[in-house]
């Protein structure tokens, strides 16, 4: 047991070391990306009134924009290593604070979307694989292809029009009805309402989550269903599945234990890859549903050329995606003994 | 009553270009404690008929048989639950590719344990003891360590031993071994065969050995069925099969044994391949590759003579006085001009 834990520990250390160059690459891209965009944050701040040349130079010196780019990058990197991403040019509060005050909203939405995608996508893929070539299979394949090809913003608007507009079942936007005020503790509305013991607020929060979670989860759902199906089909043809049948096991056991366990290896990888896409998709979904998460915040920061917010936000998002991928690699090792040893 | 009694077994596969008959009208009888060998080249339907018996064919297969009974129970009539009690428990099977036949996600111990749990039950500790005992029985060194190993940590020979341990874990009355040594090194092959025969004798179970290796047949079997292109072409006791093969195909297989080709510069081969779905000849299926084939063979499908115990599927079985195609239509090649090799019985 101890040797196994040790192997796992080494495995994680190696993976962490591999992340370092990726992370440095990300900082360069994040730093350069926003500066490559046309537009000047100071001119944007000044607005239509314009700004005098002296004041402009003064502000440039204040924010450090007058220094050479490599020096600016170095300062950014130094701050990053100390956990300081600078202050937002717009709100003047620390970027880290701005980011993490909004991140729970995005995380909550993404988790619900991913749960929705896995709960529907995994069984759909398994069923399609066992009923290969039958109506159910064709239905699953057809629907997932449609889901995958659907533009998120259009799909979101359609759902809002139908469920919120025509039927009036779900709210159009926001995280919770304005009747309720919930003191943020964890930042997760569903958890905070429960902590506050307000059942009505909890239901309202769930109610607000349904549509955005479905919209954000649609593409991952389609990807997971397709991957599960093809992976199951591949594994069903393996010799060891025949061995499992030859043992006289029930078809339930053959499929759920011997086939699904092996099929999951590639499905878990795909689910992990979806996390990056979820954060990207959150930007559109949050904009459609006015969801106060990091997606919407990033869009605002970009349009204001808020350099520290954009580069800091990008680095943090990239960091989170990398950590999730690391966790996926670890999970992969747990599922697949050939990786672990 | 035979332990396994199969009559008129046919298996057809649905393919994109229509039905493909992989096995046609095969009869197999195995008594308690018997060793039967089914021989033939790739594509002769040896594995398919056994997979059909085990119920392991994919859904595209259509299995039909006049009779398909295990120990008097009609396998075709049994519900899936009852059939699963026999499959694995009383009748088990090992396969050609031991490395890919074990589930890569579970340890050796888990996979053996699962089989015992399914058919025999018992406490966790009892099952663990039994698994250790089985691993020792199939000659795996250090069972206490190996039981925790994953399949990718085992060699091919070790994997096949694990498969055998699993297959015999519930004391089956019939073990089907589908080319168990084909994927293994030559030195390991002999060990595995020896192990199978030792277990067969110790446990008094019946053994069906599917192989394309006549050498293996000589060393192991008592009864031999020769299959060609999904049909049973001959069935004999092993000594008389080697001494007096009745079907030209059997004879050709025997003369391709390196031991028999001593003194010859080239090993005799059988030209051509087993016909597939689209290149089936008319008449006897073996006629394009048969050195004795006549016009009659090319036109008319042979049937086994009712008085022939070997049930030879040939118009002109070898080693019989009436083998000369005197009664048939004018022969294209006379058997006298190319008189058959008379193989001796191997020591």
In a domain, B329, yes or no: no
Both tokens of A132, joined, read 């290969």
pLDDT at A218: 92
Contacts A248 to B, Cβ<8 Å: 84-89, 115, 118-119
Q: Using CA atoms, how far apart are residues B346 and B218, in angstroms rounded to an integer?
A: 8
- pLDDT in the model for residue B98: 92
Q: Which chain B residue has its CA at the smallest distance from A262's CA?
A: B105
Picking from B92, B105, B150, the nearest residue to A246 by CB comes out as B92
Q: What is the pLDDT of residue B144?
A: 94
| Mean of per-residue pLDDT scores for chain B | 86
The 10 Å Cβ neighbour count of residue A48 is 4
Close Cβ partners of B313 (under 8 Å, ≥ 6 residues apart):
B231, B232, B233, B234, B247, B284, B302, B303, B304
Query: Which residues of B fall within a CB distance of 8 Å from A263?
Result: none
Say yes or no: B91 and B157 in one domain.
yes
CA distance A109 to B86: 51
Strand B67-70 to B4-15 pairing = antiparallel
CA angle at B176 for the pair B62 and B136, rounded to the nearest 5°: 145
Q: For residue A211, what is the DSSP state?
A: H
The answer to whether the Cβ–Cβ distance between B118 and A249 falls below 8 Å is yes
Q: Alpha-carbon distance B298 to B296, whole Å?
A: 5
Inter-chain residue contact B87 with A242, CB threshold 8 Å: no
- Chain A nearest-CA distance from B105, in A, is 6
Provide the residue range defining the domain that includes B25: 4-228
Distance (Å) of CA A13 to CA A18, A283, A329, B302, B347: 9, 32, 12, 71, 63
User: Using DSSP, how many helices (H) and how many strands (E) does chain B show?
Assistant: 12, 11
Measured between CA atoms, the residue of chain B closest to residue A236 is B58
Establish if B330 belongs to a structural domain: no
Per-residue confidence band for B1, with pLDDT thresholds at 50, 70 and 90 = confident
Of B256, B116, B250, B93, nearest to B175 by C-alpha is B93
Same domain, B291 and B199: no
For residue A231, list chain B residues with Cβ-Cβ distance below 8 A: none
The predicted structure's pLDDT at residue B333: 36
pLDDT tens-digit map of A69-113: 899 999 999 999 888 888 888 888 999 999 999 999 999 999 999
Nearest to B54 among A244, A246, A250 (CB): A246
Looking at the partner chain, which of A242, A244, A337 has a beta carbon nearest the beta carbon of B104?
A: A337
- pTM for the model stands at 0.80
**Does the pLDDT of residue B264 top 80, yes or no?**
no
Residue closest to B317 by CA, chosen among B292, B345, B337, B336 = B292
Distance from the Cα of B59 to chain A's closest Cα (Å) equals: 10
> Which of B80, B88, B97 lies closest to A247 in CB terms?
B88
Cβ neighbourhood burial of A206 (10 Å; 0-12, 13-18, 19+): middle
- Across the interface, do B115 and A247 touch by the CB < 8 Å criterion? yes
If asked whether residues B208 and B244 sit together in one domain, one would say no
Examine the domain organization and report whether B21 and B162 are in the same domain: yes
Residue B55, Cβ neighbours under 10 Å: how many? 19
The reply to whether B41 and B114 lie within a common domain is yes
Is the same domain home to B187 and B239? no
CA distances from A208 to A27, A106, A112, A153, A214 (A): 35, 13, 12, 17, 11
Q: Is A244 within 8 Å of B103 when comparing Cβ atoms?
A: yes
Q: Does the beta-carbon distance from A341 to B153 stay under 8 Å?
A: yes
Gap between the Cα atoms of B40 and B209, Å rounded: 12
Residue A223's region, left for phi above 0, alpha for psi from -120 to 50, else beta, is: alpha
Residues of B in contact with A249 (CB under 8 A): 84, 88, 114, 118
Taking CB atoms and an 8 Å limit, are A246 and B56 in contact across chains?
A: yes
Note whether A244 contacts B: Cβ–Cβ < 8 A. Answer: yes
Of B85, B103, B150, nearest to A248 by CB-CB distance is: B85
- For chain B, the domain total comes to 2
Which residue intervals of chain B are DSSP H helices? 46-54, 80-86, 98-101, 108-119, 124-137, 143-146, 156-167, 186-203, 214-220, 238-243, 248-255, 295-299
From chain A, the residues in CB contact with B100 under 8 A are 238-240
* Residues whose CB falls within 8 Å of the CB of residue B215, separated by 6 or more in sequence, listed in order: B257, B259
**B283/B134 same-domain check:** no
Domain boundary among B176, B199, B228: B228
Mention every residue, 6+ apart, whose C-beta is less than 8 A from residue B231. Answer: B24, B25, B26, B45, B285, B313
A133 reaches B (C-beta below 8 A): no
pLDDT per residue over B208-255, tens digit each?
A: 999 888 888 888 888 999 999 989 999 999 999 998 999 999 998 888
Mark yes or no for CB contact A240/B84 under 8 Å.
no
What would the pLDDT profile of B153-186 be if each residue is shown by its tens digit?
999 999 999 999 999 999 999 999 999 988 888 8
| Structural domain includes residue B27 | yes
Q: Most distant CA pair in chain A: distance in Å?
A: 86
Q: Which helix (H) or strand (E) holds A174?
A: none
B334 within domain boundaries: no
B41 with B76, same domain?
yes
Cβ of residue A238 closer than 8 Å to a chain B Cβ = yes
**Closest-CA distance of chain B to residue A143, Å:** 25
Q: What is the pLDDT along chain A (341 residues), one digit of tens a residue?
A: 567 677 778 878 888 888 899 899 999 999 998 888 888 888 887 777 778 888 888 888 888 888 888 999 999 999 998 888 888 888 889 999 999 999 999 999 999 999 999 999 999 999 999 998 899 999 999 999 998 888 888 888 899 889 888 888 888 888 887 777 777 778 888 888 888 888 888 888 888 899 999 999 999 999 999 999 999 999 999 999 999 999 999 999 999 999 999 999 889 888 888 887 888 788 888 988 888 889 889 988 988 888 899 999 999 988 888 888 888 888 777 777 776 65
CA dihedral A214, A218, A222, A223 (to 10 degrees): -110
Q: Where are the domains of chain A?
A: 102-305+324-340
Beta carbons of A193 and A202 less than 8 angstroms apart: yes
> Smallest Cβ distance to A250: which of B84, B92, B97?
B84
A276, A106 in Cβ contact below 8 A? no
Question: Is B342 part of a structural domain of the chain?
Answer: no
Q: A78 and chain B: CB distance < 8 Å anywhere?
A: no
Q: Which residue of B has its CA nearest to A246?
A: B88
Q: Which residue has the tokens 């394009």?
A: B288
Question: What was the ipTM of the complex prediction?
Answer: 0.84
Measured CA distances, A110 to A98, A171, A277 (Å): 19, 18, 10
* Residues 6 or more apart whose Cβ sits within 8 Å of residue B159: B98, B99, B101, B102, B151
d(CA B340, CA B342): 6
Start-to-end CA span in chain A (Å): 13
- Contact of A138 with chain B, judged by CB distance below 8 Å, is answered with no
Chain A with chain B: Cβ pairs closer than 8 A: 72
DSSP state of A255: I
Judge whether A250 is closer than 8 Å to chain B, CB to CB: yes
Kindly identify which residue of chain B lies nearest to residue A248, measuring between CA atoms.
B84
Q: Do B105 and A337 count as a contact with CB atoms less than 8 A apart?
A: yes
pLDDT on residue B339: 37
Q: What is the pLDDT of residue A1?
A: 53
B contact set with A (CB within 8 A)? 54-56, 80, 84-89, 92-93, 95, 97, 100-106, 114-115, 118-119, 150, 152-153, 163, 166
Give A336 to chain B, closest Cα distance, Å: 6
A258: which 2 tokens?
């011997």
Q: Are residues B170 and B264 in the same domain?
A: no
Query: B142 with B31, same domain?
Result: yes
* CB atoms A341 and B102 under 8 Å: no
3-class SS shares of chain A: helix, strand, coil, % to 5: 80, 0, 20
Tokens encoding A25? 């690459």
User: In a 10 Å sphere around its CB, with 0-12 CB exposed, 13-18 middle and 19+ buried, how is residue B187 labelled?
Assistant: exposed
CATH node for A102-305+324-340: 1.10.3720.10
Distance CA(A271)–CA(A221), nearest Å, equals 9
DSSP string, A257-311: IIIHHHHHHHHHHHHHHHHHHHHHHHHHHHHHHT--SHHHHHHHHHHTT-HHHHH
Contact between B150 and A243 using a beta-carbon 8 Å cutoff: no
**Nearest residue on chain A to B149, alpha-carbon basis:** A337
R_g of chain A computed on alpha carbons: 24
CA–CA separation, B3 and A338 (whole Å): 41
Q: How far apart are the first and last CA of chain B?
A: 32
Same domain, B52 and B201: yes
Distance of CA B46 to the CA centre of its chain: 5
Please give the torsion angle defined by the CA atoms of residues A112, A114, A116 and A121, in that order, rounded to the nearest 10 degrees. Answer: 180
What integer pLDDT is reported at residue B337 of this predicted model? 36
Looking at residue B341, what is its pLDDT? Answer: 42
B278 near B17, Cβ under 8 Å? Answer: yes
Helix (H) or strand (E) run with residue B12 in it: strand B4-15
Per-residue confidence band for B344, with pLDDT thresholds at 50, 70 and 90: very low
Cβ partners under 8 Å of residue A270, min gap 6: A223, A224, A227
Q: Are B201 and B155 within one domain?
A: yes
Model confidence pLDDT, tens digit, residues A173-206: 888 877 777 777 788 888 888 888 888 888 888 8
Report the gap between the CA of A248 and the closest CA in chain B (Å).
4
Q: Is residue B127 part of a domain?
A: yes
Within a domain: B192:
yes
The Cα B60–Cα A198 span in angstroms is 57
Residue B341 lies in a domain: no
- Residue B14 CA to residue A165 CA, distance in Å, equals 51
């Amino acid at each position: 047991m101890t040797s196994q834990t040790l192997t796992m520990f080494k495995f994680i250390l190696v993976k962490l070391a591999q992340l370092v160059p990726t992370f440095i690459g990300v900082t360069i891209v994040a730093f350069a990306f926003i500066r490559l965009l046309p537009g000047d944050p100071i001119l944007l701040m000044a607005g239509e009134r314009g700004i005098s040349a002296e004041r402009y130079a003064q502000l440039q010196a204040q924010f450090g924009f007058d220094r050479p780019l490599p020096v600016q990058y170095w300062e950014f990197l130094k701050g990053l290593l100390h956990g300081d991403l600078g202050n937002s040019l717009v709100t003047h509060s620390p970027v880290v604070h701005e980011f993490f005050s909004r991140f729970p909203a995005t995380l909550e939405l993404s988790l619900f979307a991913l749960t929705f995608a896995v709960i529907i996508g995994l069984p759909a893929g398994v069923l399609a694989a066992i009923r290969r070539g039958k109506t159910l299979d064709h239905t699953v394949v057809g629907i997932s292809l449609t889901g995958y090809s659907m533009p998120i913003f259009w799909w979101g608007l359609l759902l809002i029009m139908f469920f919120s507009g025509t039927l009036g079942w779900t709210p159009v936007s926001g995280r919770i009805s304005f009747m309720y005020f919930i003191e943020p503790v964890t930042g997760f509305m569903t958890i905070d309402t429960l902590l506050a013991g307000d059942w009505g607020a909890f239901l309202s929060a769930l109610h607000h989550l349904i549509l955005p979670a479905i919209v954000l989860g649609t593409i991952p759902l389609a990807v997971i269903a397709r991957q599960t199906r093809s992976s199951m089909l591949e594994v069903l043809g393996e010799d060891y599945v025949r061995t499992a049948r030859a043992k006289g096991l029930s078809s339930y056991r053959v499929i759920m234990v011997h086939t699904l366990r092996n099929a999951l290896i590639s499905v878990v990888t795909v689910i992990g890859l979806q996390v990056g896409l979820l954060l990207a998709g959150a930007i559109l979904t949050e904009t459609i549903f006015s969801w106060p998460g990091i997606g919407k915040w990033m869009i605002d920061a970009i349009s204001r050329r808020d350099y520290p917010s954009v580069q800091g936000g990008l680095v943090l998002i990239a960091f989170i995606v990398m950590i999730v991928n690391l966790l996926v690699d670890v999970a992969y090792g747990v599922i697949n003994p050939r990786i672990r040893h | 009553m035979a332990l396994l009694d199969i009559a008129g077994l046919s298996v057809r596969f649905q393919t994109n270009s229509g039905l493909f008959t992989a096995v046609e009208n095969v009869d197999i009888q195995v008594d308690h404690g018997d060793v039967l060998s089914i021989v033939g080249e790739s594509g002769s339907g040896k594995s398919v008929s056994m997979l059909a018996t085990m119920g392991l064919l994919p859904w595209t297969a259509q299995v039909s048989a006049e009779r398909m009974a295990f120990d008097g129970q009609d396998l075709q009539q049994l519900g899936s639950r009852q059939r699963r009690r026999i499959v694995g428990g009383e009748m088990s099977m090992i396969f050609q590719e031991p490395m890919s036949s074990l589930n890569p996600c579970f340890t050796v111990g888990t996979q053996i344990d699962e089989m015992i749990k399914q058919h025999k039950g018992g406490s966790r500790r009892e099952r663990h003891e039994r698994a250790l005992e089985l691993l020792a029985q199939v000659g795996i060194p250090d069972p206490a360590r190996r039981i925790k190993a994953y399949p990718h940590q085992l060699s091919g020979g070790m994997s096949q031993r694990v498969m055998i341990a699993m297959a015999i874990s519930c004391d089956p009355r019939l073990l089907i071994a589908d080319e168990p040594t084909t994927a293994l090194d030559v030195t390991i092959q002999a060990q595995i065969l020896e192990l199978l025969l030792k277990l067969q004798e110790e446990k008094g179970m019946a053994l069906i050995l599917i192989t394309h290796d006549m050498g293996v047949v000589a060393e192991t079997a008592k009864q031999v069925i020769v299959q060609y292109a999904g049909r049973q072409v001959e069935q004999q006791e092993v000594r008389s099969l080697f001494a007096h093969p009745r079907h030209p195909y059997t004879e050709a297989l025997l003369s391709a044994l390196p031991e028999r080709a001593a003194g010859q510069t080239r090993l005799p081969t059988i030209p051509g391949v087993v016909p597939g779905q689209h290149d089936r000849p008319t008449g006897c299926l073996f006629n394009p590759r048969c050195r004795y084939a006549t016009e009659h063979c090319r036109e008319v499908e042979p049937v086994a003579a009712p008085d022939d115990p070997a049930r030879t599927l040939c118009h002109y079985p070898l080693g019989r006085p009436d083998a000369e195609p005197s009664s048939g239509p004018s022969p294209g090649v006379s058997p006298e001009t190319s008189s058959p090799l008379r193989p001796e019985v191997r020591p």
